[in-house]
A and B are shown apart, each in its own frame.
Chain A
Amino acid sequence: MKKFNIYLIMAILVISGNSFAQQTPAAKQSEPITIVGATAHLGNGEIIENSLIILEDGKIAEVIAKSLTKRQYPGKIINAEGKHVYPGIIAPNSTLGLVEIAAVKATQDEDEMGEMLPNIRSLIAYNAESKIVESMRPNGVLLGQIVPRGGRISGTSSIVQFDAWNWEDAVVKENDGLHINWPDSYQRGRWWRGEDPDLKANKEYQEDVQELSDFFISAKAYLEGKRDYKNLPYLAMETVFSGDKKVFVHVDGEKEILDVVQFKKEHGLKNVVIVGGYYALDVAETLKNNDIPVLVTRPHSTPEEDYEDYDYPYKLANLLNEKGVLVAIEGSGQMERMNSRNLPFYAGTVAAYGMDKEEALKLVTLNTAKILGIDEHYGSLEKGKSATLFISEGDALDMRGNILSHAFIDGREVSLETHQTELWKRYSKKYKDQESE
């Protein structure tokens, strides 16, 4: 009897524990999975109606129109007729897992002190068990680039997948990018020092750019030497010069963007990406000619200036794309972490304001993967790529259609439950029980 009670208590503990802990990461894919009959949105602009998709050993073994193949359906079969399959959506320039509750300082790990911090790495602070991270999955957002904030050189980002026990499990590409906050050629007065908060020309702009340039020159000189002394920031620059670590420059102004192009040339940087790029449109040609892609600022933003088109942020990605720039959408800004799950709807909004829908999908899938340098494995439904994809009841770029039945990361079927769905179910049940009382 006594023993029974203990079991009961333990069982209750397990159940209640479960309902508050994070979802358990899925195990490695153990059998093939065949998705039959869905409209496959490949993420590269193409669609395959009535498709056949086979996932094997974490990879896409086949993606083809059902009618074009006679092969058998191996493993577990998912009937997805009338449904839609998409590659996993990627959240670039994100702070997911670095901050849990914006207003609670103890949960903030995004901004280290100091100005030139290439050695600061987001990955080791990334909380794989964040409740916000798990809330990405039910919307099809399955990967992210985790980026530190603040300073002139904020640090080094890494790319993770969103279903992991810890950061080591999560990592998709370690130390993928260096992040620079480019100086502004205009500046607001620091009101807390009693300065006029109006915007004026920044007298220190050239100096700030020079300082950044000097840092690159010094790092290069150091790396060419014997390196007797371990200079951590300079050492972290090595992969920047080799081209393995891309340089993400967070910048919006037209003049500043042109200066970034110059900076790229001066320092012989192989891979530079503009993040933000609000005023990139008039220099699109230059960006295209210099192979500089843009992670364009969140479309759900208000225009910067009163006189600008009300729909300018909605259509910016499209306009840049039309000019031949490689573009993807990033989501930094107000409430950026929780809002990252709205990435598909950002792309949908860009489509509403002029872009082809499949092109718009690229803005959050294949283009993002290309810009981040993970397109060999991620970003589209192609044979041989990672089986990171999801099945949606309808159009995933539309709020009404983005209802997921399955999501896979590297072939692992991940949980679509979250802290939020649990509360939903708990309280729905409460009221159903009340009704039946």
Chain B
Amino acid sequence: MKLKLLILGIFLSAFSMQSQEYFPKNDGVKTRNTNYTVFKNAKIHIDPQNVIENGMFAIKEGKITAVGKSINVPENSIIIDLKGKEVYPSFIDLYSDFGIPKPKKAENGNSVQYDAGREGYYWNDHIKPDTEAIANFSFDKKEAEKFHKAGFGVVNTHVPDGIIRGTGMLVALTPGVTEGDRILNERSSQYLSFDKSVQSRQAYPTSIMGSMALIRQAYLDAKWYGNGNAKNKDLALEALNKNKDLVQIFATDNLLNEFRADKIGDEFGVQYVIVGSGKEYQRIDKVKASNATYIVPLKFPNAFDVEDPYLANKLSLEEMREWNQAPANLKMLAENKVPFTLTTHSIDAEKDFKTNLLKAIDFGLSKEAALAALTTVPAKTIGQEGKIGVIKEGAWANFLITSGDYFDKKTTIYENWIQGEKKLLNSMDVTNITGNYDLKVDGKTYSLNIKGEPSSPKTELKLGDTKIGSKISFNDNWMNLLLSSPDTTKTEFIRLVANIPAQTEQFSGKAILPNGNETSFQAIMKKDSDKDKKDKKDKEAETHKVVPVTYPNIAYGFKNLPKQENVLFKNATVWTSEDEGVLENTDVLVKNGEIIKIGKDLSAGGAKVIDATGKHLTAGIVDEHSHIAASAINESGHNSSAEVSMEDVVDPTDINIYRNLAGGVTTIQLLHGSANPIGGRSAILKLKWGESADNMIFEQAPPFIKFALGENVKQSNWSGGRFPQTRMGVEQVFTDYFSRAKAYETSKNEEGFRKDLEMETLVEILNGERFVSSHSYIQSEINMLMKVAEKFGFNINTFTHILEGYKVADKMKEHGVGASTFSDWWAYKYEVNDAIPYNASIMNEVGLTVAINSDDAEMSRRLNQEAAKSVKYGGMSEEEAWKMVTINPAKLLHVDDLVGSIKTGKQADLVLWNDHPLSVYAKPEKTMVEGVFYFDIERDSEMRKDIKRERNELIGQMLKAKNNGVKTQPVTIEEKQRVHCDLLEEVK
């Protein structure tokens, strides 16, 4: 028997050596195997939708030559009978670094590296489209075996390093052949990501928005270079142009980045295939709208170990839900008809792949969709439709032979054939004896559990509740089982031996007892009673009921987004922030998101009436300087970062959005940080909690950019080696950039013009099409920036922080710049030594438009209090003070025709307060944005109860999961950062 198998093995490998007919041969005569191998009597899954029962197929020279119920069998055929077995196309993984050595990390240096390390390539080391997987590839036999065991036949591999990462290659995992045979396409695709190359220390980009800007610029530069405009050689751009028509695969690691990738793709007419995060279910509508094919990691979070209640308290609802909901991700993708394929990247393919796949199926993914995700979808995605991933004439002979339905837990893969080469995983000839048996020997009935691989089984033996030692060996279908004697006082053994030639529900054989007597034994397979099965299933469903997704999918998210309402606020004290001042006993009518009437005794006309007697109604607070709702704050890789935009990095899932609404804030300017003299473009947002990032952007607001001066840009409070290091240098940065921007603008009509995103932004500033809000502290620099702007013929729109504004208020007025300041911050660094809380009052008296801003997620929750401080410091009138957080910042943002006051025709951004809004005792009860109540104090108290209930439910589920032996992970909580503009680190 053994000999026969061995001969077959030799024969097969000789037979399948593939065509390289022009290679010389010195170790014998030249042969070519033109035999057919025909498989018959198999259940053939030719593709996810179609099955041939009792079918046949033939292969020759690595390809499938015929498939059908009955096919013509050529005379030179070897026939293999697959009775009772099933055949599936081998699987495909499109996101892999198979056979690629791990990129070597650049050594740490003493100072920041600003310039590129490569010569003859692009100005940024992280753009490396010239990298080729093929140049780095060598077949990794050990790794391949893992894939074989998991059922994979083909992978698309690449060097996972850098932002534009270069080409991937499609390679078959064929054992025993040469690379020449395996490579299906050496330029199958191009990979991209937002992550920098580890092989370079070049600083830029330090942020996600920098990565986005860099990709855009590289695309523009490639086009320009391709038109022959460059004087120099740039091998990276040449490669980028060469790779243009390949499949473009964008690797991301979180949901927001998936949308960011898609956004860039849309701008440049590229449809990326997106490597997702497994969290697509959280915004499935947006995922669907991307029209992308998704490559989804087959990875689910483990339950947290929540036995320590104090530590469990540190878990966010978001993390708990992820554990609960993520296994349903693939089901949601399939239901929403999002094309997706699976990757084993980030999991152990051998150990976890099938377990996780079956988990996804348990959570509602259909087997057809699962099979498609592993075969036809990736084949199509990588341009190999009909060639791989199907069992079809002309396709590569890549298929699995299984013991039954692959998606059954017990099913074994016997063989994984790739390019007609057999990879034996489990012998078909080995009888599968795994299972639970009643073992009857010598008048006793033991409980025997045989488990593990059929070819090397393991045993567990019990007599009643007592565990008994046992050892099994199973060779050539002969079983030898050694049992410790049930009499544990003795070291004695019972030996069992049986021949089990075929799968059976019971077997018997000889038993040799410790005294040498021979008798017989019987093993009868136990049946899972239907009741047991049902109980088990119900238990699983009960322990792991998927909780509903909310928008955003964290605490205080909405199950259903609140709707716009028509509302009549009745009998309120109305703070108009207009010349009308404060109106007592006044009604305000809101329809279709607008304020349509203000007056006494208005009729509701179908609108919902809210009794506001004794309450105060104001416009929503506008925060000119905020850093909430952002995935990143600073791009500090260059001293100018005008090309980056905060609109790219809006994070709509930040709880601070909700908390700001609870403080009456409805509009914010999300500013870039203050690392650079020329910072990034702003995002002006409406705090529409629950909406997507795009839907929060205040569309009608004009474009802004952040500038910064002083200690931060000259890197005073940490060591830096970048120009500028003094306020003298800061002036030169501006002068230099604006001089270049002027020259850039005049060069626009010239031949060979190169579009530069940074310069484009600066030209907008020069032309008054983009407004500047500049971080500033001391009078010298404030004066300086105004003078530079005047020299270049534009105006600074706003000085933000502006703590010494009171010293140069007259000059500011002359320039026409507004001020957005802190109420009372000072003493945190040297340049705020002369900061005084009277600043706002003085500037207001001089006649500047003055706002009070937050720059801080805590302070922004109570900007009403901060405004009220100007009543104390400097004796400002209450009405004037209130304007500093409503109409004045709206003016500074040029949205005062839309928001910032209660006026007919304006957007209904309103706050209902329980008390005088400037009082320390006031709190918002309802906050409305465009007619939608995004905060309501009564709804909030309901949400608190729901959150408590849900946390309790999820903790209960996790405890049960742990009890059932499911893998758990210790509680670790991701670091959260509260950002203000001094923060330099990149935040995710």
Q: Contact residues of A with B, CB < 8 Å?
A: 100-104, 131-132, 185-186, 188, 196-201, 253-255, 279, 300-303, 305-307, 309-311, 334-335, 337-338, 341-342, 345, 348-349, 351-353, 357, 397-400, 402-403, 420-421, 423-424, 427-428, 431, 434
Contact = CB atoms under 8 A, between A and B. Distances in A.
A400 B881 CA distance: 10
B827 A338 contact: yes
A348 B869 CA distance: 13
A300 B824 CA distance: 14
A209 to B, nearest CB: 15
A399 B837 CA distance: 12
B827 A100 contact: yes
A431 B838 CA distance: 14
Contacts of A397: 920
B809 A431 contact: yes
Contact of A103 (B659, B828, B921): B828
B906 interface: no
Interface in B283-331: 308, 310-311, 313-314, 316-318
Interface of B: 308, 310-311, 313-314, 316-318, 554-556, 655-656, 658-659, 662, 711, 716-717, 806-807, 809-810, 824-830, 833-834, 836-838, 842, 845-846, 856-859, 861-862, 865, 868-869, 871-874, 878, 915, 918-923, 940, 944, 947, 951, 970-975, 978
15 contacts: A101-B829, A102-B827, A102-B829, A185-B310, A198-B973, A200-B971, A201-B311, A253-B310, A254-B313, A305-B314, A306-B316, A398-B920, A400-B878, A424-B874, A431-B845
Interface centre among B310, B317, B856, B918 (most CB of A within 10 A): B310
Interface centre among B830, B920, B923 (most CB of A within 10 A): B920
Given A200-B971, A398-B919, A431-B845, A424 B711 contact: no
Contact of B974 (A198, A310, A334, A349): A198
Contact of A351 (B662, B711, B869, B921): B921
Nearest to B839: A424
Given A101-B828, A306-B318, A352-B920, A199 B874 contact: no
Contacts of B861: 302, 310
A197 B834 contact: no
Contact of B940 (A310, A348, A353, A403): A310
Contact of A306 (B555, B833, B922, B940): B555
B824 A338 contact: yes
A100 B827 CA distance: 7
Nearest to B859: A300
A424 B317 CA distance: 48
Given A337-B827, A345-B865, A103 B318 contact: no
Given A103-B717, A398-B919, A427 B806 contact: yes
Contact of B810 (A103, A200, A434): A434
Interface centre among A310, A335, A431 (most CB of B within 10 A): A310
Contacts of B316: 305-307
A201 B308 contact: yes
Nearest to A428: B842
B862 A335 contact: no
A228 to B, nearest CB: 45
A400 B919 contact: yes
B828 A306 contact: no
B920 A399 contact: yes
A311 B662 contact: yes
A100 B313 CA distance: 37
Contacts of B940: 310
Contacts of A303: 659
A80 to B, nearest CB: 18
A233 to B, nearest CB: 31
A198 B857 contact: no
B834 A399 contact: no
Interface centre among B658, B824, B869, B922 (most CB of A within 10 A): B824
A262 B662 CA distance: 39
A115 to B, nearest CB: 25
Contact of A302 (B311, B659, B716, B970): B659
A424 B843 CA distance: 11
A262 to B, nearest CB: 15
B920 A423 contact: no
Contacts of A307: 316-317, 555-556, 947, 951
A295 B533 CA distance: 57
Lowest 6 A-B CB distances belong to which pairs? A348-B920, A103-B829, A307-B555, A424-B838, A199-B973, A399-B868
Nearest to B871: A400
B978 to A, nearest CB: 7
A427 B842 contact: yes
B923 A353 contact: yes
Given A309-B944, A400-B868, A400-B872, A427 B807 contact: yes
Contacts of B845: 428, 431
Given A306-B554, A310-B658, A345-B920, A402 B874 contact: no
A104 B974 CA distance: 31
B871 A335 contact: no
B971 A400 contact: no
A399 B314 contact: no
Nearest to A344: B920
Given A302-B858, A338-B825, A423 B834 contact: yes
Interface centre among A131, A188, A302, A349 (most CB of B within 10 A): A302
B844 to A, nearest CB: 11
Contacts of B918: 399-400
Given A104-B829, A337-B827, A338-B824, A399 B862 contact: no
A423 B828 contact: no
Contacts of A434: 810
A273 to B, nearest CB: 22
Nearest to A418: B836
A348 B659 CA distance: 19
Given A199-B314, A305-B314, A398-B868, 10 more contacts: A100-B827, A102-B827, A196-B972, A199-B973, A254-B313, A349-B862, A351-B920, A398-B921, A399-B865, A399-B868
A144 B947 CA distance: 40
Nearest to A99: B827
Interface centre among B655, B827, B973, B978 (most CB of A within 10 A): B827
Contacts of A188: 975
Nearest to A103: B829
B712 to A, nearest CB: 10
A337 B555 CA distance: 33
Contact of B858 (A301, A400, A427, A431): A301
Contacts of A403: 872
A302 B857 contact: yes
A132 B825 CA distance: 11
B333 to A, nearest CB: 26
Contacts of A101: 827-830, 833
Contacts of B830: 101, 103-104
Nearest to A302: B858
B827 A335 contact: yes
Interface centre among A335, A342, A352, A399 (most CB of B within 10 A): A399
Contact of B872 (A132, A402, A420): A402
Nearest to A357: B921
Contacts of B314: 186, 199, 305
A356 to B, nearest CB: 11
A214 B604 CA distance: 73
B659 A352 contact: no
Contact of A201 (B827, B842, B922, B970): B970
A188 B975 CA distance: 8
A310 B941 CA distance: 10
A345 B919 CA distance: 10
Given A310-B659, A400-B871, A186 B825 contact: no
Interface centre among B314, B809, B915 (most CB of A within 10 A): B314
A338 B822 CA distance: 13
Nearest to B716: A103
B872 A335 contact: no
